Structure 1
């Protein structure tokens, strides 16, 4: 159970590799899995959430769910390996490891493109409000989602199969940088637009400080969204870049020794995603509340039924 990007031959260095306890990965995976599954179920159950924006959020949550499942399963297998129950060089173990790496790679790429799709959707919402429903139809949304999943799945399988080739890492990095650059342009444009509207509202007669703060708060939210994405993803892709640029430099090896910490950041982004994209939605919060009360009512029904069955048995 080895990671393809960290299994390369390391050069001598004074920097010891940072080891993160498996329990940390398991906790992050379980929390992420619970949050993202909750988002997926909520979007599927509530017809009011069947819109392009929430479809992209559901897709992002689904990619995060796959990532959490794969990483949690990988860590469980590592526990069995350390206990001597699995052979890390066995044929079946290596095939399972390749499948998990493919799923992880697919989920990471899917998160990037889902994030970009959400940014484009918000861009259209702001700049083409009147034409939004004509531009972002459910048919086009379905086509975009099918394309994202197909491209991510196919490219991830190729990347894992030819992970040793430098061109694979180059393509991976170029895709990330392209999506990052486009997302940055979109959010900078929306940030400037939010400030522009805040200034116009503030200059109108009768405008209050509340309107000014509301506009700036919206611009700040967009900045936080992009900042969290950058903090969680950039270290991992810098790791890939360092592998290609300076594979024999001891200082680069010091940065590569932090690889497991970079993976923790990637997994943490899957935990933060639902809070940023989903939990800020009043409609989703109401759906979560209804789901919770429905679950509680079902538990009460089962509990009362069991008590009635026990009392009936004792009586007769």
Structure 2
């Protein structure tokens, strides 16, 4: 419970800082960062809503109220699903920026980004509410609200994990693999032509290297999400497919805490890998009045790169 409370605090405060940074620094208001803000909002909800609900259900509360119990157990599924869809949106946006640069400005407008974010949240809520719609176990006579006694593991494994978590993760890893291959090829090609075309090619090389850095940072977000959540889903598979296999309580609790901890790590990752976010965080902590003017550097991280491809 102590670990959960620490994670809830870090997740809420850290991701609020991400939202404030994007709000204050106009140079961070890119389509990529809009999706990262959506991810941050989901993580704020995990810290402020889902983890407190998880703490209550850990002690079996509420008792004798099945629908409130299911709602409290479903909120974490909702916010996790929203996080996955936000990560998928980021991957698709990066794919369009790299492979369809001339259509980027038309496809990836702020309006379209907001519509995609609203659609992902609506879909995430519908997926999370499936247990509340009837796909759940018969409640125990004791009335205690424990996850494994109320939520149907066939829903968690076949529908939630295989269909709604694993499939998007595989798609995202394939997208980033293609992005890395494409960018490396472009860098090599530009380097070979640099001696012939001079300064213009040097700028293109720098832009492509910046895109590689941005893609690497975003891939790390996806990688950490996978590392944090897969162990718990694997345990759920064991609970369903091998009900008599012993699962140590310590292992289960560690997997749960690890999955919740994912909501707290992204702000640290942004600060470590993205100069624009790091400088904006510093400006906020130091109470600078003109945040946007003091965050130069790599504040184009996450912006469209269609101009580079035109070279």
Question: TM-score, with normalisation over the residues of structure 2?
Answer: 0.72
- Change in CA separation of 1:254 and 1:179 when aligned onto 2, cut-off 3 Å: same
Partners of 1:91 and 1:60 in 2: how far apart? Answer: 34
- Change in CA separation of 1:257 and 1:280 when aligned onto 2, cut-off 3 Å: closer
Partners of 2:72 and 2:271 in 1: how far apart? Answer: 27
Structure 2: runs of 5 or more not aligned: 138-151, 196-200, 290-311
Partner of 1:245: 241
Number of residue-to-residue matches in the alignment: 263
1:31 aligns with 2:31: no
- Change in CA separation of 1:225 and 1:57 when aligned onto 2, cut-off 3 Å: closer
Match of 1:274 among 255, 267, 275: 267
Secondary structure (helix, strand or coil) at the match of 2:287 reads helix
Match of 2:223 among 221, 224, 227: 227
Match of 1:43 among 15, 19, 22: 22
**How much is the aligned-residue C-alpha RMSD, in angstroms?**
3.3
- Change in CA separation of 1:278 and 1:112 when aligned onto 2, cut-off 3 Å: farther
Contact 1:198 1:216 in 2 (8 A): no
| 1:155-208 C-alpha deviation (Å, 9 max, x unpaired) | 212235523345522111211121011101101101211321333344345699
Structure 1: runs of 5 or more not aligned: 1-21, 82-86, 297-316
Partner of 1:172: 160
How far 1:24 moved relative to its partner?
1.2
Partners of 1:263 and 1:23 in 2: how far apart? Answer: 13
Partner of 2:43: 64
Secondary structure (helix, strand or coil) at the match of 1:294 reads coil
How far 1:89 moved relative to its partner?
5.4
Partners of 1:71 and 1:215 in 2: how far apart? Answer: 36
Q: Which has the larger radius of gyration?
A: 1
Question: TM-score, with normalisation over the residues of structure 1?
Answer: 0.71
How far 1:234 moved relative to its partner?
1.3
Partners of 2:123 and 2:132 in 1: how far apart? Answer: 14
| 1:269-307 C-alpha deviation (Å, 9 max, x unpaired) | 2122223346644433343334333389xxxxxxxxxxx
Partner of 2:299: none
- Change in CA separation of 1:180 and 1:282 when aligned onto 2, cut-off 3 Å: same
Secondary structure (helix, strand or coil) at the match of 2:61 reads coil
- Change in CA separation of 1:181 and 1:285 when aligned onto 2, cut-off 3 Å: same
- Change in CA separation of 1:148 and 1:216 when aligned onto 2, cut-off 3 Å: closer
Contact 2:32 2:93 in 1 (8 A): yes
Secondary structure (helix, strand or coil) at the match of 1:100 reads helix
Partners of 1:216 and 1:145 in 2: how far apart? Answer: 23
How far 1:25 moved relative to its partner?
1.4
